Structure 1
Amino acid sequence: MKLFGSSGTRGVVGESLTPEFVLRVAKAAGTVWNADRVAIARDTRTTGEMFVNAASAGLASVGVDVDDLGVTPTPAAVRYCEAADVPGVIITASHNPPEFNGVKLVDDGVELSVEQLERVEDHILAEDFDVAAWDEVGSVRKVETANQDYLDELLASVDAEKIADANLTVALDPGHGAGSLVTPDFLRELGCEVRTVNAQPDGHFPGRNSEPVPENLTDLERLVRASDADVGIAHDGDADRAVFVDEHGEAISGESSLAALVAANLEPGDAAVSAVNVSQRLVDVCDAAGADLELTPIGSTNLITRIRQLWTEGVNVPVAGEGNGGVFFPNYRLVRDGAYIAAKFLELVAERPASEVVAPYQDYYNVRINVEYTREAELDAMLSAAAAYAEAADATPNTTDGYRLDYGDAWVLVRPSGTEPKVRVYAEGRSEARAQTLAEDAADALYAALDEL
């Protein structure tokens, strides 16, 4: 796909992402869906309203009515689409910086599959859109209930009594994103004492960068320690991720929390689905449970596609996800849902401290290096260098998505980002030094290719 990456399409506003482009995406989606109504939602980014207006105009121009949900977490928008039986356009760049925005497309209550996205993309590239007559264009109506309906369903879908009985104190950092409108109320309804930071909706993200990685969670770590909280929870911009801080104020890696959640929900004969940058932690969990581990290219779109394929084969997939805080519980809903992920982790913390929940999965160290590019020639040079590096390595490359090299005690993966102009290098090892060395060696090969241009 040329336009859609591993989780929709994203770009810097005014450069690679413009209102004209979003209008064309909406016209193409409306043409492909052939629906009477489509829902539109957005996160808190300052450019969100502009792109909602562009998408609304595009849909109306092909004869589609629009339900404008306003600022809504992605999982709340997906829930609305499923309940109302309508497709959806979600204006969000998820965890990217504030100058970015993007578009996710939803149908049948899930993000579009790769095949469906390719159909939309074909219509965009061919400028092949339905055109409604002047008296058949769509109209727009505001819908004010999406967040409350989502909250109500969340409360009915988790073990609220177990969480309430634990009398937990929770520190929460929604990162100024759409989760600010739901997760604080949700946790209080669960009986938690809630302390917040960066909880006012603000598309400039003044308190921290949107991506909930450890280096961005210092405020939350301090809040956990200051409030003697049992756990800290952080979201990204559209609240489809949840990452955690333990009771000591130490950030928990997403790979460790994913392993704990999978271990708590997997039965023999089940399958878990993750991406090719999967941690050895998850491999060990699946082996111990007698369950299969299915690997896909990185990105929610690819995981969703594989989960649906497994369903057609009669395979139960109770949990799936990546080590970035984005976890699916497909039997609940096939969407990454930050508030639901948080509640499922709280069910574990209700039994024992957060540090003990993840203690069995802390044996590996992870390193990630991003190498940026500005021209296609730079990307091509780095990918050629990655291929040569993998070919010369003392390991057999896995080329499901990029180049992964497994060494038994450690692994390294080189792949282009699906959402940003970067080539990412991931490494994991039993020691931090081993992971750092692998990551730096692979990144050096990429930097050398850039120097030769």
Structure 2
Amino acid sequence: MEVFGSSGTRGIVNESLTPSFAMEVAQAAGSVWDDDRVGIARDTRVTGEMIADAVASGLASVGTDIDRLGVTPTPAAQAYAERAGIPVVIVTASHNPPEFNGIKLVGSDGVGLSVDELERIEEVFLADASDTRAWNEVGRSRRVETANDDYLDELLDVVDVDRIAGANLTVALDPGHGAASLTSPQFFRALGCDVVTVNAQPDGHFPGRDAEPIPENLDDLGRLVQATDADLGIAHDGDGDRAVFFDETGEYMEGDATLAALVAAELDPGETTVSAVNVSQRLVDAVSAADAELELTPIGSTYIVSRIRELQKQGISVPIAGEGNGGLFFPRYRLARDGAFTAARFLELVASRNASEIVAPYSGYHNIRVNLTYEDRTERDAMLDAAAEWARDVDVELSTQDGIRLDYGDAWVLTRPSGTEPLIRLYAEAGSEQRAQELVDHVREALERGRQ
């Protein structure tokens, strides 16, 4: 796909992502969708209102009425789509820096569009074939003020409130100035938790920390857990569809470890879970112990959703899926990543034992993630070609399903270009940090040779 990546389309505002681009994408989507009304939601970014206005103009120009939801976490917008039975355009760049924004498209079932659906919209966009209407047939807008409150009510209906409330838990929460600042504090208090917060005021400049919930951005949350003797620290990304955790000592818990722990609690023999090609051995171990199956896809929620749907059509049970970045799916609840729901499911486990004990069985691995920048597509391709040539000469198992993955048996390393940023990402996992770093260094050397 040229326009849509693994999680929609994103770019720096007024450079690669302009109001005219957003309008044209919305025109194409509105032309393909057979719906009289479409919702628009956005996160807290300072450019969100401008891009949402452009999207509204594009939809109205093809005769579509618009529900303006305002600042709404992505999972709340997906819940609204399912509840109202209409598609929703979400203006968000998720974890990207504040100068970025983006567009994510959700169907009337509340699920992100499949690759096939995105390609149909992309074809209309690239062919400039949108079905614009006469002046007296354009769409009209209305504001919807209840999307967040209705979402919270739905969450409270599907989690074990009594179990969590009965444990008298203290939660330290960092919504990262994002859209979940409007929902997660209220949600965890409604679960009976004492809630202390940091970076909980909505602010699209992200003054307290960057939007991506990775360890180097979350020092304040770790300190807050320690200072308040919290049972769990929870952090979200900019649009609230991910959750990562700190244990009761204020230590960051690897996302792959919490994913494995949740899968172990959810998965029964004979069932299947779905993850991406950067899968951790932790998850492999948890699936094997459950006597279940693991399916792998390219990295990105779009691919995971598509595979879950295929498996469900075959009558295969997929109770949980996701990636180690905190983006999990619980398809029996909704086929959407939801940071607040994921955190609530983890709190159900914390109600019985310490967070550190929950992930202890999955702590024997070390992960390293490195990002390399490139100037243009030509340089990127040269770097990846050099890495591929190097990988072919290494006598280990090689996979090119999504990028270049080398599996050494006791360790693995993956190289792939980002689908949303001008970056080449390196992932490595091994039984020791030194071994993981060595693998990253070898691949980085090959990439850098391609840059010369």
Report the alpha carbon displacement of residue 153 of structure 1 after superposing the two structures with TM: 0.4
Aligned position for 2:9:
9
Aligned position for 2:447:
446
Distance, in Å, in 1 between the alignment partners of 2:390 and 2:291 is 35
Partner SS, residue 386 of structure 1? helix
Report the alpha carbon displacement of residue 374 of structure 1 after superposing the two structures with TM: 2.0
Q: Which moved more, 1:380-389 or 1:80-89?
A: 380-389
Aligned position for 1:160:
161
Partner SS, residue 397 of structure 2? coil
Report the alpha carbon displacement of residue 383 of structure 1 after superposing the two structures with TM: 1.5
TM-score normalized by structure 1?
A: 0.99
Aligned position for 1:364:
365
> Quick check: 1:51 aligned with 2:35?
no
> Quick check: 1:323 aligned with 2:324?
yes
Distance, in Å, in 1 between the alignment partners of 2:343 and 2:275 is 19
Equivalent position amino acid for 1:360 in 2: P
Partner SS, residue 286 of structure 2? helix
Q: Deviations over 1:215-239 (max 9, x none)?
A: 1110000000000100100000000
Partner SS, residue 295 of structure 1? strand
Q: Deviations over 1:395-448 (max 9, x none)?
A: 121111011111111000011111111111100000000001001110111112
Distance, in Å, in 2 between the alignment partners of 1:334 and 1:399 is 27
Partner SS, residue 397 of structure 1? strand
Q: Check whether the contact 1:404–1:412 (CA below 8 A) recurs between aligned residues.
A: yes
Equivalent position amino acid for 2:102 in 1: G
Equivalent position amino acid for 2:105 in 1: L
Q: Deviations over 1:234-285 (max 9, x none)?
A: 0000000000000000001110110011000000111000000000000011
Q: Check whether the contact 1:171–1:232 (CA below 8 A) recurs between aligned residues.
A: yes
Aligned position for 1:220:
221
Q: Check whether the contact 1:366–1:426 (CA below 8 A) recurs between aligned residues.
A: yes
Distance, in Å, in 2 between the alignment partners of 1:158 and 1:386 is 46
Aligned position for 1:82:
82
Q: Deviations over 1:115-165 (max 9, x none)?
A: 111111111110010011111100000000000000000001000000000
User: What is the correspondence of 1:123-202 to structure 2 with a 5 Å cutoff?
Assistant: 123-202=124-203
Q: Deviations over 1:371-408 (max 9, x none)?
A: 11121111110121121122011212111101111111
> Quick check: 1:426 aligned with 2:442?
no
Aligned position for 2:38:
38
Equivalent position amino acid for 1:133 in 2: A
Distance, in Å, in 2 between the alignment partners of 1:195 and 1:397 is 46
> Quick check: 1:352 aligned with 2:387?
no
User: What is the correspondence of 1:168-317 to structure 2 with a 5 Å cutoff?
Assistant: 168-317=169-318
Distance, in Å, in 2 between the alignment partners of 1:328 and 1:386 is 32
Q: Which runs of 5+ in 2 are unaligned?
A: none
Aligned position for 1:27:
27
Q: Check whether the contact 2:397–2:408 (CA below 8 A) recurs between aligned residues.
A: no
Equivalent position amino acid for 1:93 in 2: A
Equivalent position amino acid for 2:112 in 1: E
> Quick check: 1:93 aligned with 2:93?
yes
Partner SS, residue 111 of structure 1? coil
Q: Check whether the contact 2:384–2:450 (CA below 8 A) recurs between aligned residues.
A: no
Instruction: State the aligned residue count.
Output: 451
Distance, in Å, in 1 between the alignment partners of 2:435 and 2:87 is 46
Equivalent position amino acid for 2:241 in 1: D
Aligned position for 2:383:
382
Equivalent position amino acid for 1:176 in 2: H
Distance, in Å, in 1 between the alignment partners of 2:346 and 2:444 is 34
Distance, in Å, in 2 between the alignment partners of 1:161 and 1:234 is 23
Distance, in Å, in 1 between the alignment partners of 2:123 and 2:12 is 23
Aligned position for 1:104:
104
Equivalent position amino acid for 2:52 in 1: V
Q: Check whether the contact 2:417–2:424 (CA below 8 A) recurs between aligned residues.
A: yes
Equivalent position amino acid for 2:137 in 1: E
Aligned position for 2:61:
61
Report the alpha carbon displacement of residue 34 of structure 1 after superposing the two structures with TM: 2.2
Equivalent position amino acid for 2:55 in 1: A
Partner SS, residue 416 of structure 2? strand
Distance, in Å, in 2 between the alignment partners of 1:390 and 1:122 is 35
Q: Check whether the contact 1:369–1:443 (CA below 8 A) recurs between aligned residues.
A: no
Partner SS, residue 101 of structure 1? strand
Equivalent position amino acid for 1:113 in 2: S
- RMSD value, Cα: 0.6
TM-score normalized by structure 2?
A: 0.99
Partner SS, residue 335 of structure 2? strand
Q: Deviations over 1:338-376 (max 9, x none)?
A: 000010000010010000011111110000111111211
User: Segments of 4+ in structure 1 off by > 3 A?
Assistant: none
Distance, in Å, in 2 between the alignment partners of 1:411 and 1:396 is 9
Partner SS, residue 89 of structure 1? strand
Distance, in Å, in 2 between the alignment partners of 1:39 and 1:415 is 34
Equivalent position amino acid for 1:63 in 2: G
Q: Deviations over 1:267-319 (max 9, x none)?
A: 01110000000000000111110111000000000000000000011001000
Distance, in Å, in 1 between the alignment partners of 2:260 and 2:420 is 25
Q: Check whether the contact 2:387–2:450 (CA below 8 A) recurs between aligned residues.
A: no
Partner SS, residue 167 of structure 1? coil
